[in-house]
Amino acid sequence: MNILVTGGAGFIGSHLCERLIRDGHTVTAVDNFITGSRRNVASLAGNPRFTLIEANIIDGLDHAGPLDAVMNLASPASPVGYLDNPIETMLVGSHGVRNALELARRNGARFLQASTSEVYGDPLEHPQKESYWGNVSCTGVRSVYDEAKRFAEALTMAYHRKHGLRTRIIRIFNTYGPRMDLNDGRVVPNFVKQAATNQPLTIYGDGSATRSFTYVSDLVEGMWRLLMSDEPMPVNVGNPREMTMTQFADAVILAAGSECRSKAVYVQPQNERIADDPQRRRPDITRARQILGWEPRVALEDGLRETLTYFRSVLN
């Protein structure tokens, strides 16, 4: 297949591009490098089936030649990324998504929109099913990301209903692995970097907030299965193993090995970026299991060791 991946030089996008190339597809990656990096796709440089284009999909999106699929991952995805680029985040989730949808429509291609568990906001339902409409502030500091993704889902469904476009929507829950930005502000890079350098692991609040963590290769498998399915409605892809921040800090320290001297410390949030964090997050993946035959395979302990190995290589 000929596949175009927007955000292809990002953390998840680069792993997706590698997987597609490994499976024999021809891939065009588009990225403006606001949060992505050429380093992430360095392993694909020189591959005749891989092309990297620097462009901002807000300004338009074109491609010479036929396309079988467009996979839209373009957007800052970490608090640092979207809070430092709030207007760009809103525009890539609106103008950018429309441009990606139009490209798919012109080519009669499949289309996958990368959405997020953040569409559920600070959920009042637990675990979160796709039928849950969410508890989202439309004016909070995180709203630029949450509402952009909610709009993107609505626009994707509009193209499906109006034009019969073969659209897919994946709701991604917390994902981790090699190539995460060391400084993107999310809990995995924070904890792993601190453990790799024997610093205290900083837990904001009392440690009772929860997350569930999916290794990046599991997510990419779910993305591919959803793209090739016939399911137009959103599907959660994440790991239903829920952990408190205290439990997760303990898991990171254990994965770091006996040489790690880090301990968890608890501090109160000092700015609204952190204070606005959802308190609970856990996916209901019943639909992913039933429709895609998918569930996570990589154990947290194994994924953390791989992630620590990567971070140590970058830090040294």
Catalytic residue ranges: 145
End-to-end CA distance of the chain: 39
d(CA 208, CA 181) in angstroms, rounded, equals 25
Q: In this structure, what token pair is assigned to residue 250?
A: 């303990």
d(CA 51, CA 35) in angstroms, rounded, equals 19
Residue 316 CB-density burial (10 A; 0-12 exposed, 13-18 middle, 19+ buried)? exposed
Residues 24/50, Cβ–Cβ less than 8 Å: no
d(CA 61, CA 30) in angstroms, rounded, equals 9
d(CA 271, CA 267) in angstroms, rounded, equals 12
Residues 31/54, Cβ–Cβ less than 8 Å: yes
Identity at 120, one-letter amino acid code: Y
Give the three-class secondary structure for 48. coil
Q: What is the CA radius of gyration of the chain?
A: 19
Helix (H) or strand (E) holding 47: none
In the DSSP assignment, the letter for residue 118 is G
